[in-house]
Amino acid sequence: MSEQTNPFESLQSQIDEASPYVDADDDVIERLKHPERVLETNLTVELDDGSLERFKAFRSQFNGDRGPYKGGIRYHPGVSRDEVKALSGWMVYKCATVGIPYGGGKGGIIVDPSEYSADEIERLTRAFATELRPLIGVDRDVPAPDVNTGQREMNWIKDTYETLENSTQPGVITGKALDSGGSEGRVEATGRSTVLAAREAFDYLGKDLEGATVAVQGYGNAGWIAAKLIDEMGAKVVAASDSSGGVYNADGFDPVAAKDHKHETGSISGFEGATEEITNEDVLTLDVDLLIPAALENAIDGDLAESVQADVISEAANGPLTPEADQVMADKDVLVIPDILANAGGVTVSYFEWVQNRQRFYWSEERVNEELESIIVDAFDDLVESYEQNDLDSFRTAAYVVALERVAGAFEEAGTFP
């Protein structure tokens, strides 16, 4: 993995690649390469032993031309200002790619949550929610879960906001538990869109998903659910990995059993359904039909890309390929379904949750999944149309052409204020 690759520079490079095909002036494109504002704050939290600890936190609001800022909050030691700027930008273009009425935001706290108690994480979360209170709101900025956060943290943020505002506003945040106003289908949404996009790509290429071999790098929520759903579609999951390493079985294995093993032991290593222990890098370079990178950004750099043998890559993670890796894939005719489409299921079902919160009327899981599939399939068709009409060399550039045209169009229709 390339530690030198700056994710914000990667985002800007991706915009530059697409901009010649977008009907917008250079100054408008330049505006769309930078966040509108970034909050940087220091949170002081009392630990269980009575001592105080300072945590640095960020919230980037990249662009709100198409609707409220939208994006997750992650707790990770690697969080940085440039990372949240990049992730908030990717969220802008993700929402535009799938045509939902949001802008893009992202937040994070520099912390390893495994080193703190649940009570300490609650105090940290509520401290951050208090700092975010002036920025967020149902029609302003709607956060969601991300790396190392989930329903628990979203429920705490909702409660903190509602307590301080003395109101009931479940739509201020998404990814909540069902009893707190969450949506059916939200937990599976990112993994589901990753495999729906892969299914459409296989169909586009005239390839059969039945019996196709699949490797999944990263076995958190998105990764294991993608593995489960692709297995149900008839494909064969032959490899998976987490931060501890990887496992492999040429005949395939049960992805749910692998998830249960990881839940019980804390690691996918040692899973009895595998015949071989392999490295994370091995998982990325196996000769498979489909590779699903589902961990963090920059997993595949230009050097590693030379060894990637997958025919199709569906990006469940944000920014798993560097720009150099993208070029290698294009040269090798590997079809890469970009993150801003492949993993857009999370924000799409977050949008459904927000709509349900606004209406106080909740949908069945069947309806959620049907609406999600319709949006992902339509977005894939738009991407293919852009790819073919502009004679592009990658689906990522095609997606950015679609997204930039939509965001630039909204900006130009609104006019410039003041």
From 70, 85, 94, 106, active-site residue: 106
The continuous run of DSSP H or E covering 118 comes out as: helix 118-132
Cα separation, 129 vs 73, in Å, equals 11
Cα separation, 55 vs 303, in Å, equals 35
Question: DSSP code of 321?
Answer: B
Token pair listed for 335:
């079809």
Decide: helix, strand or coil at residue 405: helix
Cα separation, 37 vs 4, in Å, equals 25
Cα separation, 120 vs 397, in Å, equals 43
Q: How far apart are the first and last CA of the chain?
A: 44
Using CA atoms of 221, 404, 197, 229 in order, give the dihedral in degrees to the nearest 10: 20
Question: Alpha helices of 217-359 — where are they, by DSSP H?
Answer: 221-232, 255-265, 280-285, 302-305, 323-331, 339-342, 345-359
Cα separation, 149 vs 126, in Å, equals 13
Q: Is 333 left (phi over 0), alpha (psi -120 to 50) or beta?
A: left
Residue 198 amino acid letter: A
Output Rg (C-alpha) for the chain, integer angstroms. 20
Half-sphere exposure of 138 toward its Cβ, with a 13 Å CA cutoff?
14
The continuous run of DSSP H or E covering 384 comes out as: helix 365-389
Chain center to CA of 305: 21
Residue 15 amino acid letter: I
Cα separation, 321 vs 332, in Å, equals 14
- Our answer to whether residue 106 is catalytic in this structure is yes
Query: Are the C-beta atoms of 105 and 88 separated by less than 8 Å?
Result: yes
Catalytic positions: 106
